[in-house]
Chains A and B, each alone.
Chain A
Amino acid sequence: MLELYLFQILNGLGLGMIYFLIAVGLTIIFGLLNFVNFAHGAFFLLGAYICYTAVSLTGNFWLSLLLAPLLVAALAWVIERLLIQRIYHLPHMFQILVTLGIALIIQEASVMIWGPVGKSVAVPQLLRGVLVIGDFVYPYYRLFLIVFSALVGFGLWLLLERTRFGALVRAGSESTETVSLLGTNIFRLFSMTFALGAGLAGVAGVLFAPLRGAQPFVGPEILGVAFVVVVIGGMGSFSGALVGGLLVGVVQSLMTTIWPQGASLMIYGAMAVVILLRPYGLFGRA
């Protein structure tokens, strides 16, 4: 019984790290650009599908782990340049509607390209076995998930805290005007940040693919969860996205055996309660 709980908690941590990767992209975009991106779930979806195509063409999961996020980021960069930059000045309401439109287009395009039935992606050869410690058995891939996401998270933290780019992003989140006045091309920074956020969603999509495959209509569900995580952790907060992601992942994972719809009910309930009682989230700043 104890092993079962441990198993579910570990699963939850893996799921939670994926949620963290999705949410942290959303939260960086919101923090710097003050932009609400409803197309974020669609970028996740694309990551999963590009992973499927790359794996079925080359048979190499690792290549897809590199390629898919880059392609997603490139697409996001183009979309940002062509469309998103025109609507930064509009109220959030219009940003939501435009990105909702983008999400619809990406989703339907994915169905057109890859078909309405989900595609499954095999776990890479290297990680196919299970870890056995005494009575406890755990698949390698899920362990890899936790470790790899943690590494990506750490890399992102380094990028944001230790590089010039990161400093600009953080400074821009405080005051876009000041950064712009100090001579930084703020629009280039915006494009790069938007692409970075989308790329992170792409990484999450690739990591998710061997677990549940690439599903065409998973975008809104993932977007919903990402918003829950971001809201619980606090909009714009890096550590909030991490704690929120892990929390939601573990709760969902523990509840799946008992009452799966209850898990969704709970996390959205928690989201509503957090907005009502602590609108800046558990880790956000007022």
Chain B
Amino acid sequence: MSEKNPLPFAKTQSRSMLLLVVAVLVGLPLVLPSATLATEILIFAMAALACNLLLGYTGLLSFGQGIFFGAGAYCAALLMIHLQLGLFSALLGAALAGGFLAFLVGALAIRRTGIYFVMLTLAFSQMAYFLTYTLSDWTGGDNGLLNVPRPEIRIGDTVLMSLSDARYFYGFVAVLFLLIFIGARRVIASPFGSTLMAIRENETRAAAIGYDTRHFKILVFMLSGAVTGIAGALYAMLLHFVPLSNIDLAMSENILIMTIVGGTGSLFGSLLGAGSIVLLGEFLSDLWPRWLMLLGVILILVVVFMRGGLWGGFSSLFERIKGRRKPSLPVQEEQP
């Protein structure tokens, strides 16, 4: 929500937001029982952030995020297994694969709007799943792709850092996440980002002003696909394994739910959403295997009562406390 306000304090706000993210990145592995869990949170936060660019900033509900996540995972794994590519080349390959597929899906899906747009992304998502299932010689089909390596960071032949220790891998993912977060903030603050939000608010008007809205929508799809692809690749490296479920419809739904629960329209919300849902799953799945039911309840509550998500809830609470301390300032009403 904070990005939407006119910003007299833009600089300080943006700096304190970055500090908050850095604090979370440093704090996560200290608070959580394992670095692997913290890494998983960041990976899904990355995917949710990419989804947020589409859903929160451009107003596009895509059931295709699982395609890009799965494509990134399979692509990176295949590049590392068959071509022995290193860490950065594999990640680059995953970003390209995610971006390219997002270009295809986006370019076709945005020919329709509303429910037909959603249906198209759904159809593509199912096609990607069944295609992956069918190409079992490459993808391992139902068994998934096993023995995915986690390469070390190296320049030429010099190994700079091995990532086999979960904590080092977390560090690497955290740095990557921070870079992507900063990049995404830059994109949103740019004229390109303003145009995306103009499309979200009223596409006809944005087109009437003279923006080629299709061009913008395809570009944001590619950006989202590339970031989601990287997240998928990191997930493959984390698990040393690419399960078929990485590309199924449930993955798309999970990423969507994380984005919405965290709060659309705030990048930090995506981190919040991914964090709370991964943690909820981690702690509840042993106690109560049917915890997904709770997820359904949360999803409904957020949509019906708290459309700003967790972040929207927190920030309006914060505004209210601030407003009480300084009664001379007008209290910001929460946007519906």
Footprint of B on A, CB under 8 Å? Answer: 36, 83, 86-87, 90, 92-94, 96-98, 100-105, 107-109, 111-112, 220, 224, 227-228, 231, 235, 259, 261-262, 264-265, 268-269, 271-272, 275-276, 279
Contacts and interface: CB of A to CB of B under 8 A. Distances in A.
Main secondary structure of the interface of A (DSSP, over half): helix
A203 B108 CA distance: 36
B293 A261 contact: no
Given A101-B295, A275-B119, A276-B120, 6 more contacts: A98-B299, A107-B292, A112-B290, A112-B293, A227-B119, A272-B123
B113 to A, nearest CB: 10
Given A97-B260, A105-B297, A272-B108, A92 B115 contact: yes
Interface of B: 61, 108, 111-112, 114-116, 118-120, 122-124, 126-127, 130-131, 133-134, 249-250, 253, 256-257, 260, 290, 292-293, 295-300, 303-304, 307
Given A220-B250, A271-B123, A108 B112 contact: no
Contacts of B256: 97
B126 A98 contact: no
Contact of B127 (A220, A265, A279): A265
A93 B154 CA distance: 45
Contacts of A83: 300, 304
Given A92-B118, A272-B124, A105 B293 contact: yes
Contacts of B290: 108-109, 111-112
A265 B111 contact: no
A268 B123 contact: yes
Contacts of A96: 61, 118
Given A97-B303, A268-B123, A103 B133 contact: no
B120 to A, nearest CB: 5
Contacts of A102: 296, 300
A99 to B, nearest CB: 9
Contacts of B299: 97-98, 100-101, 104
A104 B126 contact: no
Contacts of A92: 114-115, 118
Contact of A104 (B130, B131, B292, B303): B292
A98 B108 contact: no
Most buried by A among B114, B257, B290, B297: B290
Contacts of B108: 272, 276
Contacts of A97: 256, 260, 299, 303
Contacts of B253: 100
B304 A104 contact: no
A276 B105 CA distance: 12
20 contacts: A86-B304, A94-B303, A94-B307, A97-B260, A98-B303, A100-B253, A100-B299, A101-B299, A101-B300, A102-B300, A104-B293, A105-B297, A111-B290, A112-B290, A220-B250, A262-B134, A271-B123, A272-B124, A276-B120, A279-B112
